């Protein structure tokens, strides 16, 4: 009998790609605000309600729910939403597991590479390093603390926290946003362009989640980031090279980004490197460790 996996954040890019990958070997269920298919179950995070049939017989939960970090300007209200969408959703699941007396084999949560902060330095961060001191780091720390409760409350045998870098996909995210201006020749690096951009191909991040399900030693925090480091400038130039477009516009000034995006601009103008060593030592092999090869795969399909 196939293990049952419940995935939250059903409308997101990772959930959509991951569910397709997992359904070959597992029974996949999705938690969503609006049920459309037989394998979907409704929940309402604000009302703290859930179709309890979603949890019946579940062995693993992959928690991907959370408001988009870069979608809107960071007002005080938006900051609260970014935190609550992650914390309150985990709390609802935990409460329902307690009520139904269910213990999971694993609780696997999305997390962010921004745990370490977004300052551009010479340091390459690994999972033993401490947290940063900016807002995104605060979000990730609270996010992971909510996940850790599943093990502390004896509701999961293990908790894996996947600290995810910028996901490269032609369907959504940073790459999709960068492409239109580069295609018409007006794409430019942001600020100095020297800030690091930790990245990962969509296929690799999906594969890491699958690997976490299959391997019980994946317990604790793991960076989901390509072993090859790049800067914002190099990423922009490599995209242009792959799609054979010239880049001749000056860099977008940092002050302009701050005027447009406010505090969110800091996440665009700063960035640190993170190590992929721990997940590699655990036996995971990247299919797309090289940036140019990754972009060629995504943009030449």
Domains of the chain: 4-167+200-225+274-288 (3.40.50.720)
pLDDT at 301: 63
Higher pLDDT, 33 or 97: 97
Q: Per-residue pLDDT tens for 165-174?
A: 999 999 988 8
**pLDDT band at 250; cut points 50, 70, 90:** confident
How many Å apart are CA 99 and CA 143, to the nearest integer?
22
pLDDT band at 191 (very low <50, low <70, confident <90, very high): confident
In the predicted structure, residue 264 carries a pLDDT above the cut 90 = no
Q: What length is written for the chain? A: 301
Name residue, tokens 């999705």: 30
pLDDT of 269 higher than 90: no
Judge whether 163 and 113 are in contact, CB under 8 Å.
yes
Instruction: Please determine, for residue 257, whether its predicted confidence score (pLDDT) is greater than 80.
Output: no
220: left (phi over 0), alpha (psi -120 to 50) or beta: left
Confidence of residue 31 (pLDDT cuts 50, 70, 90): very high
Kindly report the pTM of this predicted structure: 0.94
Strand ranges for the chain from DSSP E:
4-7, 27-32, 40-44, 49-50, 58-63, 106-112, 124-125, 159-164, 166-168, 199-201, 220-224, 273-274
> pLDDT exceeding 90 applies to what percent of the chain?
74
Q: Which residue has the higher pLDDT, 70 or 200?
A: 200
């Amino acid at each position: 009998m196939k293990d049952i996996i419940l995935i939250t954040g059903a409308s997101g890019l990772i959930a959509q790609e991951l569910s397709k990958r997992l359904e070959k070997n597992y029974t996949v269920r999705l938690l969503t605000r609006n049920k459309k298919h037989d394998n979907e179950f409704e929940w309402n995070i604000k009302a703290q309600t859930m179709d309890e049939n979603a949890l019946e017989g579940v062995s693993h939960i992959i928690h991907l729910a959370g408001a988009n970090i870069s979608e809107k300007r960071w007002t005080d209200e938006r900051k609260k939403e970014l935190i609550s969408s992650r914390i309150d959703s985990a709390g609802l699941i935990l409460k329902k597991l307690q009520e139904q007396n269910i213990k999971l084999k694993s609780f696997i949560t999305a997390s962010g590479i921004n745990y370490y902060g977004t300052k551009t330095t010479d340091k390459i961060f690994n999972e033993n390093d401490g947290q940063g001191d900016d807002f995104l780091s605060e979000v990730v720390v609270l996010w992971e603390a909510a996940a850790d409760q599943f093990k502390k409350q004896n509701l999961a045998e293990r908790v894996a926290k996947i600290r995810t870098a910028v996901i490269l996909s032609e369907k959504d995210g940073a790459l999709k946003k960068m492409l239109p201006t580069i295609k018409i020749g007006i794409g430019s690096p942001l600020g100095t362009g020297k800030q690091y951009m930790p990245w990962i191909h969509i296929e690799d991040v999906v594969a890491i989640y699958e690997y976490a399900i299959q391997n019980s030693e994946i317990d604790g925090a793991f960076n989901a980031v390509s072993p090859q480091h790049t800067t914002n400038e190099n990423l922009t130039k490599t995209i242009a090279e792959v799609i054979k477009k010239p880049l001749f516009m000056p860099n977008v000034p940092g002050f302009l980004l701050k005027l447009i995006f406010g505090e969110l601009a800091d996440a665009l103008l700063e960035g640190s490197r993170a190590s992929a060593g721990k997940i590699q030592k655990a036996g995971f092999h990247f299919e797309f460790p090289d940036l140019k090869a990754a972009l060629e795969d995504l943009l030449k399909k």
